[in-house]
Amino acid sequence: MRVQNTSAPAIDNIFIDVSQFESYTLTPIINSVSDHDEQLLIISPDDPHIPKHKFNTTRKINMYTISDFIDKLRCKSWDTICNSEDVNEMAILFLIFI
């Protein structure tokens, strides 16, 4: 879980009794944001046919989104990251930071 001044998101969990379903699939949905990908659960208790879904995720990158990203980085305090001497810790802190 990431905790910041204005937010504290959590990763949701869903538990199912797989013995109650004849057919189910769990598919990752790559979202290209950090290391948290979505999961798609398809439950087909009566129909053995499992639909095939194709997802395409794109990120809008242009001069406005790049400028906005740079402005947001400028407004952040880098002290926590820059005061560490461990490169691995700095990388983790940076990923949490953004």
Q: Domain map of the chain by residue range?
A: 1-57, 60-98
Task: Kindly report, residue by residue over 49-74, the tens digit of the pLDDT.
Answer: 555 666 777 788 899 988 988 888 88
The identity of residue 44, as a single letter, is: S
Mean pLDDT, residues 14-18 taken together: 74
Lowest-confidence pick of 9-18, 57-66, 85-94: 9-18
Query: How far apart (Å, rounded) are the C-alpha atoms in residues 92 and 43?
Result: 36
| pLDDT tops 70 at residue 26 | yes
Q: Token pair of 26, please?
A: 């769990």
Tokens of 45: 């208790």
Compute the distance between CA of residue 43 and CA of residue 74 in angstroms, rounded to an integer. 46
